[in-house]
């Protein structure tokens, strides 16, 4: 049984929260899945209380939807939904690089270059998991360089819904040549503290992401309606 007691000093609710979150983002808990408290409780070896508190947190992040007296279910991802998120992310990512241009320190620039190189190395492995990881780290370096704590939190919460599509997006990006090029452009602009160029580069980056993710969602939806036609099997 996947007991959740890994970190002993962390409250159970946080362990549960992390576990559920992970499960949702990897698709282990698919959209629409009902989250039943007793069930999750003995699956994770804890009582309902930490489960409930974790669900409250996931609810406020938008990862689960509550139906009163009915319970929680994993939130459905719709195209509108994702489009809204990306629209906001675009604005915030641009803010991010603009602030980074103003505030990044020499060490920050070093970190950024390191992250860029690490990403390019990751691309060579052709392993989506590793590439995704390096991509996240690259973005985190930029976000940290902006020196705005609120931005860190928001970017995190806005990234969540997209993680479910991350692997496909990575695989999708025609040989990753694009990604590498885009990252280089962004680093170059920040290094020269050229806000406009940085903003433009990031804008393109997100727009590409949007195209890829939207296509993915449409494919998913098609597949789903096929399943509906032929009967769902498990």
Binding site for DNA (CB under 7 A): 11-13, 34-39, 45-50, 52, 66, 68-72
Minimum CB separation of residue 53 from a copy of itself in Å reads 5
Strand residues in 30-134 grouped as ranges (E): 34-35, 64-67, 71-74
- Does position 88 bind a copy of itself by CB under 8 A? yes
Site string for a copy of itself, 9-48 (x = CB under 8 A): x-x-x-----------------------------------
Q: Which does 61 bind (CB under 5 to 8 A by kind): a copy of itself, DNA, none?
A: a copy of itself
> Segment 118-137, which members bind a copy of itself (CB under 8 A)?
none
Q: Which is nearer to DNA, 66 or 160 (CB)?
A: 66
Q: Find the part of the chain contacting a copy of itself (CB under 8 A) among 94-102, 131-139, 189-197, 211-219.
A: 94-102
- Provide the binding-site residues for a copy of itself, judged by CB under 8 A: 9, 11, 13, 49, 52-53, 56-57, 59-62, 68, 80-81, 84-85, 87-88, 91-92, 94-95, 99, 148-151, 153-154, 158
């Amino acid at each position: 049984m996947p007991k959740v007691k890994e970190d002993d000093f962390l409250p159970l609710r946080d362990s549960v929260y992390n576990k559920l979150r992970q499960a949702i983002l990897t698709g282990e808990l698919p959209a629409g899945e009902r989250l039943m408290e007793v069930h999750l409780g003995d699956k994770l070896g804890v009582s309902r209380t930490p489960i409930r508190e974790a669900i409250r947190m996931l609810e406020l992040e938008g990862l689960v939807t509550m139906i009163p007296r009915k319970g929680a279910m994993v939130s459905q991802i719709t195209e509108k939904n994702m489009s809204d998120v990306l629209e906001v992310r675009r604005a915030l990512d641009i803010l991010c690089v603009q602030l980074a241009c103003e505030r990044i320190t020499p060490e920050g620039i070093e970190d950024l270059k390191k992250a860029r190189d690490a990403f390019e190395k990751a691309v060579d492995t052709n392993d989506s998991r590793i590439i995704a990881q390096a991509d996240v780290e690259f973005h985190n370096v930029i976000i940290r360089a902006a020196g705005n704590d609120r931005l860190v939190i928001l970017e995190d919460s806005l990234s969540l819904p997209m993680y479910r599509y991350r692997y496909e997006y990575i695989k999708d990006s025609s040989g990753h040549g694009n990604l590498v090029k885009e990252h280089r452009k962004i680093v170059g602009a920040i290094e020269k503290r050229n806000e406009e160029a940085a903003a433009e580069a990031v804008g393109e980056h997100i727009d590409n992401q949007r195209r890829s993710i939207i296509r993915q969602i449409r494919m998913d939806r098609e597949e789903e309606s096929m399943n509906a036609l032929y009967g769902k099997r498990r």
